[in-house]
Amino acid sequence: MLSDLLRRHQADFGPVLPVDLNSPEVARLDFTAANPLLTAANLHDTATFDQLVARLLADKNALIGVGGYLEDRVIYRRSPGLFDADPTAPARSLHLGVDVWLRAGTPVLAPLPATVHSLADNEGHGNYGPTVILEHELEGTVFYTLYGHLSRRETALLRPGLVIAQGDTFAEVGPAPENGDWPPHLHFQVMADLQGRVGDFPGVALVSERTTWAALCPDPNLILQSRHLATD
């Protein structure tokens, strides 16, 4: 399994962001229905959502927020039609990546040697915005990492096939509205198989399909290695 491979190589990974995700200034944020602050918030309005993130961080004396892997979130109600195109079907709400909430303009780094697989500007309220997928290889196994909610300026310089060295900056955390109209954050996700997709990959799935998606998209904290995301 890819998760076992990533565990074996944890000492080899570099940072995805030039910040210490183990710092006391980092806190785990909760975007599930268990968080009462989400009940009354108008998450359709990005400025209001941004203020909510700031409040969640202030309540924890933190400057950076992390979280989200396999979290059953309520925040996707802000984008009707994007995650639940069929109103009669169960809504997708299971988050498949880790979000790091921090300032726009923060550099994004390659955690290990990579090739740009594909990129796209996934426009629309609540979508990824500018998105980059990197291809990696360890022990003969190919896998992928996805970076969503980036800035257009940096991603415009990338092309499929471009080789990126470990530690190189290849993108930046994007501002609203170009980042999909979100408070600034990086969506970081790991995929064992892209299933033929280019420049995009589901970041939210049906809760009922948790086991299938967890196997396809292992815990990004195997690379990030933040104590705030530890599940043990």
pLDDT range class, residue 37, cuts 50, 70, 90: confident
Q: Which amino acid is at 161?
A: G
* Cα–Cα separations (whole angstroms), residue 160 to 28, 116, 117, 144, 169: 34, 5, 5, 13, 16
Q: Are 95 and 142 in contact (CB under 8 A)?
A: no
Integer Cα distance of 219 and 69 in angstroms: 7
User: Which has more confidence, 168 or 36?
Assistant: 168
The SS3 call for residue 164 is: strand
pLDDT range class, residue 33, cuts 50, 70, 90: confident
Interval 103-136: pLDDT, tens: 999 999 999 999 999 999 999 888 999 999 999 9
Write the DSSP string, 213-230. HHHHS--THHHH--GGG-
Residue 223 has pLDDT above 60, yes or no: yes
pLDDT at 87: 54
Coarse DSSP helix, strand, coil percentages of the chain, rounded to the nearest 5 percent: 25, 25, 50
Report residue 216 as tokens: 């396809």
Average pLDDT of the segment spanning 42-52: 88
Residue 29 has pLDDT above 50, yes or no: yes
pLDDT range class, residue 231, cuts 50, 70, 90: confident
Contacts of 196 (CB under 8 A, 6+ apart): none
Nearest to 141 by CA among 12, 5, 7: 5
Write the DSSP string, 53-97. HHHHHHHTT-SEEEE-TT-BBSGGGGSTTTS-SSTTSPPP-EE-S
Residue 12 has pLDDT above 90, yes or no: yes
Nearest to 170 by CA among 145, 192, 203, 202: 145
Average pLDDT of the segment spanning 219-226: 97
Report residue 16 as tokens: 């995805």
Interval 61-119: pLDDT, tens: 999 999 999 999 877 654 454 445 455 556 778 999 999 999 999 999 999 999 999 99
Report residue 111 as tokens: 């955690």
